[in-house]
A and B are shown apart, each in its own frame.
Chain A
Amino acid sequence: MDYIISHYNYWLVIIIMMAGFYTVISRGNLVKKIAGLNIFQVSVFLLYISIGNVKDGAVPIIEKGVTLYSNPLPHVLILTAIVVGVATTALGLALVIRIKEAYGTIEEDDIHNQDQSL
């Protein structure tokens, strides 16, 4: 039980990951899909941030009297991934705007029907 509680951040990661992934798969609304994708990516950010933490480690800034630091590398890595995530979201939403202009709807089913009726 202690094990489960002490690793609560990883449980959180899994819950958020599945929630986001499910949203991407199940929703027909294109904006909601992007939102789901974002939640899915955020869970990965949390995972990386969690693994960088060293137990009882200090903030990784060199200071007198501190010997144990957290690992800053995963945090730097995820900074890159956050930028990529922002770019993906921006591009995705831009596409949704263009789709709305072209089809007049952002519901996947309606778009599918319009393409079929041609």
Chain B
Amino acid sequence: MIESHLSLLIVVFPLLTAPIVAVLPNGRLPWAISTFVSWSVFAMACVQLFNVSTGNVISYELGGWAPPWGIEYRIDAANALVALIVSGIAAVTLPYALKSIEKEIPQHQHSLFYAAFMLCFTGLLGITQTGDIFNLFVFLEISSLSSYALISLGKKRQALTASYQYLIMGTIGATFFIIGVGLLYVMTGTLNMADLAQRLPEMYEHRTIHTAFAFIMVGFALKLALFPLHLWLPNAYTYAPTVVTIFLAATATKVAVYVMLRVVFSVFGFSFIENTPTDELFLLLCVVGILSMSFYAIYQRDSKRLLAYSSVAQIGYMMLGIGFGSMLGVTATLVHLFNHALMKGALFMAIGAIVYQVGSSRLQHMSGLGKQMPWTFAAIMIGGMSLIGVPGTAGFISKWYLVLAAIEQQQWLIVAVILIGSLLAVIYVWKLIEVLYFKPANETAQNISRQTSVKEAPLMLLIPMWILVLANVYFGFNTELTVGTAEQAVKLLLPGMN
């Protein structure tokens, strides 16, 4: 019974939790319920991934209406993997949230915070589960609107302007997306993605289809912060409460990359993309994005902002795989999607632990903390190594596949860019480590809200952080789940290329 409705329950469960949590009194109860829900959704996502891991596709008809008339949830290995990332990150972020938001969000807003968090969670899961392109838009807006609210909860007033900026850019992106969807509907008369994929090939030459494609691409490039449409991201990540940054950095952009994959490969098909300049354009933007954003990251004075710029650069790596359009390339994209969620989650959690103890994420306030907070420091070390792509960490696996894909296509310039990008990552990760470990705790920093000795973060922050850190190491050695699932997904995304 539950088994057959699993695909829907994954979305409905957190959706129903949101209003319940919103009316509960502030305290631990909303937190406990949200955490319970996120773990059960995580368990369901695991079962779902297991069900599709052999390469079959689950089709769930909402309300019993047969597709293409009704809304269809269509789960294959790609969706299931992204749903697993989203629910997994939520499941480790929520235990972390209890302590972290005590310091960052006023007490009377706690239950509303969990409600918004659950809505954002619903939206992101909905995007991954649905097979209907308009339904996707609705879930996109559910997740976006709740994330604007979540970002604006940040302590500094810049959080408000960051959220406003994101609202404007995000709404333009989403509106572009529905213009594109509308144009597709005019031409094909359907909104079901599988149905669209069947009807589109005969109209490839039509101008309207090209316009629709352009609108959808630009719209989602805004949502996933592809360089140069990333301007909302650094501010939003810097000023949002740390828990929100962890969750959004590890999931929101990943889900947008997944939509890009879905639209490019499942709906339009790569043979359409090859005849447009899109793939070359992606490669160009990714190359410029990786290099320039890594440079920007080096010069930041705030640790959260540094990681935010690094995120924009990493999105470049993910999009490179789509630009290649080869099986290896898309495998690399999916693997990096998963691994980057783990490394950025771990790093932002470590920064969050420092913010919890010191009250600031600026580098100058963090000097010398590495000795006082050894576990947090070690987490930054390992997370940073994964970000660079040191062998033995998850980051290495995705970089490896990306380089292989570039070599396969004889794109030597891009191989060089990936390697230079990693070297730049060494510099900005080193910057964090230098400040934390090698700089003495200076006097000016002591005066700013710092007690004479800073202790290690509480266990409630350390345990989720180390779950992600250990996952980084684990998936650096055991690639069965990540690469295996990604290869399975690619077979379905790129059918004609075995």
Contact = CB atoms under 8 A, between A and B. Distances in A.
Interface of A: 21, 24, 30, 33, 37, 40-41, 44, 47-48, 51, 74, 77, 80-81, 84, 87-88, 91-92, 95-96, 98-99, 102-103, 111, 115
B488 interface: no
Given A87-B145, A95-B163, A44 B158 contact: no
Contact of B182 (A41, A47, A88): A47
Contacts, number: 68
Interface stretch (B47-55, B99-107, B164-172, B442-450): B164-172
B160 interface: yes
B167 A98 contact: no
B186 interface: yes
B164 A74 contact: no
Interface residues of B, number: 26
Contacts of B138: 80, 84
If over half of A's interface residues share one DSSP class (helix, strand or loop), that class is named, otherwise mixed; here it is: helix
> What 8 pairs across the A-B complex have the smallest Cβ distances?
A102-B157, A84-B141, A95-B164, A99-B160, A51-B186, A98-B160, A88-B171, A92-B167
Interface in B256-309: none
B357 interface: no
15 contacts: A21-B172, A24-B172, A30-B164, A40-B172, A40-B175, A77-B134, A80-B134, A84-B141, A88-B167, A88-B171, A92-B167, A95-B163, A99-B161, A99-B164, A111-B161
Given A47-B179, A47-B182, A91 B157 contact: no
Nearest to A99: B160
A84 B160 CA distance: 21
B182 A92 contact: no
Contacts of A33: 168
Nearest to A103: B157
A99 B157 CA distance: 8
B141 A51 contact: no
A98 B163 CA distance: 11
Contact of A37 (B148, B172, B182): B172
